[in-house]
Amino acid sequence: MKGGLVFNVQRFSVHDGPGVRTTVFMKGCPLCCAWCHNPESQSASPEFVRLRHLCMSCGRCSEDELDSPIVTDRNEDDVEACPTGALQGVGERVEPEALVASLLRDRIFFDESGGGVTISGGEPLVQPAFVTEVLRLLRAEGVHTALDTCGFGRWPDLRDAAAQANLVLYDLKLMDPARHMAATGVPNEIILDNLRSLAGVHPAIWIRIPVVPGVNDDDGNIEAAADFVRSLPGIRQVDLLPYHPTGEAKFARLGLDYALQGTPPPERSRLDALAARFRERGLFTTIGGHA
């Protein structure tokens, strides 16, 4: 099988499912959310970035090139040759077997903590065959698997990948189709339909709601989301994920504009109030992963 394009494998991930996990970040995403904290994940092609603050000006890149963050004419050899690692490649192709062998290195921590591997990104459903195969191989090794998805993809792809996941982390951003399109660049009907179908067949789903002030944290959206989630079977918990501006630096690195400049993280009292909406409906709800 052709390899998958991965842009990071992060060991000791403690916010992407239960226990101590390794999270695999797939490259490529059909959405372009304004608050994305991994914008380097959006393009489905390998890219190159310069981390300017790491650069020692060794002379391999011209001053003009250093001033422009978009890197268009470099390759892996250049990345290798960059002494400080300021020039980085984003996105590496890897075969499923090789990736799984590498993931199993932390199996003792998975065993001890009730953790495992989470496939995230980007959007795993952009590379469905690869993701499904990786999850399948992990399951065969007795490793707990989680799929972190926004649900924007073909239903058969989601169904097959989710069948190999002990747990699905499913993003819900905005309920209103027009607002969803404006904020993420895609409609949400597929996302909601897929979630309905998934809830009918998968026993363990966590709903993840990024709470972005001024974008989706209004009562209307949250009430609608809570009602929707309540109507579905198999929803184990709801995680409200407070917006944080840490992705901002990455936008600059990629030469992208950051639309949410100046947006503060949500207030704790607001998060509590929003969590209450879900808890009223009998849904176990965490804030940032904490109950």
Q: Does 75 bind other proteins (CB under 8 A)?
A: no
Q: Of 197 and 270, which has the nearer Cβ to other proteins? A: 270
Q: Is 142 in the site for other proteins (CB under 8 A)?
A: no
- Residue 112 contacts other proteins per CB under 8 A: yes
Whether residue 147 contacts residue 161, with contact meaning beta carbons closer than 8 Å, is answered with yes
CB of 47 to other proteins, least distance (A): 16
Q: In terms of CB distance, is 176 or 242 closer to other proteins?
A: 242
Footprint (CB under 8 A) of other proteins, residues 28-47: 37-38
Find the binding residues for other proteins in span 198-237 (CB under 8 A): 208
285 near other proteins, rule: CB under 8 A? no
- C-beta of 121 vs 128, nearer to other proteins: 121
By CB under 8 A, residue 23 contacts other proteins: yes
**Single residue of 30, 44, 104, 113 touching other proteins by CB under 8 A:** 113
Residue 246 interacts with other proteins (CB under 8 A): yes or no: yes
Subset of residues 49 to 68 that bind other proteins, contact rule: CB under 8 A: 51, 53-54, 56, 58
Q: Decide if residue 106 touches other proteins (CB under 8 A).
A: yes
Segment contacting other proteins (CB under 8 A): 21-29, 64-72, 185-193, 222-230?
A: 21-29
Q: Is 12 in the site for other proteins (CB under 8 A)?
A: yes
290 vs 286: CA distance, rounded Å? 5
Whether the Cβ atoms of residue 57 and residue 66 lie closer than 8 Å to each other:
yes
Which range of residues in 82-90, 129-137, 266-274, 276-284 is near other proteins by CB under 8 A? 82-90
Minimum CB separation from other proteins for residue 200, in Å? 26
In angstroms, the CA 116 to CA 114 distance is 7
Tokens of 94: 């890897």
Shortest separation between residue 83's beta carbon and other proteins, angstroms: 4
What is the x/- site pattern for other proteins, positions 169-198, by CB under 8 A? ------------------------------
Three-state helix/strand/coil letters over the chain:
CCCEEEEEEEEEECCCCCCCEEEEEECCCCCCCCCCCCHHHCCCCCEEEECHHHCCCCCCCCHHHHHCCCCCCCCHHHHHHCCCCCEEEECEEECHHHHHHHHHHHHHHHHHHCCEEEEEECCHHHCHHHHHHHHHHHHHCCCEEEEEECCCCCHHHHHHHHHCCCEEEEECCCCCHHHHHHHHCCCCHHHHHHHHHHHHHCCCEEEEEEECCCCCCCHHHHHHHHHHHHCCCCEEEEEEEECCHHHHHHHHHCCCCCCCCCCCCCCHHHHHHHHHHHHHCCCCEEECCEC
Q: Which residues bind other proteins (CB under 8 A)?
A: 8, 10-16, 19-20, 22-23, 25, 37-38, 51, 53-54, 56, 58, 80, 83-85, 105-106, 108-109, 111-113, 115, 120, 148, 208, 239, 241, 244-250, 252, 288-291
